Amino acid sequence: MVLKKLLGSTATRSLTVLSVLSEAKTAFSRGKRTRGILLLGLAALAWKWAILGLAAQGVLKLVRGGRSGSSSTP
Distant-in-sequence, close-in-space partners of 30: CB < 8 Å, separation ≥ 6? none
- Domains of the chain: which residue ranges? 10-60
What is the pTM (predicted TM-score) of this model?
Answer: 0.67
Confidence category of residue 58, pLDDT binned at 50, 70, 90: confident
> What long-range pairs does 57-61 form, CB within 8 A, spacing at least 24?
57/16, 57/19, 57/20, 57/23, 60/23
- The pLDDT of residue 28 is 94
Residue 31 CB contacts under 8 Å (≥ 6 apart), including other chains? none
- Per-residue pLDDT of 3-42, as tens digits, reads 666 666 778 778 888 888 988 899 899 999 998 898 888 8
With both helix axes pointing from N to C terminus, report the angle between 50-63 and 33-48 in degrees, rounded to the nearest 10.
150
Most confident range, picked from 7-16, 42-51, 61-70:
42-51
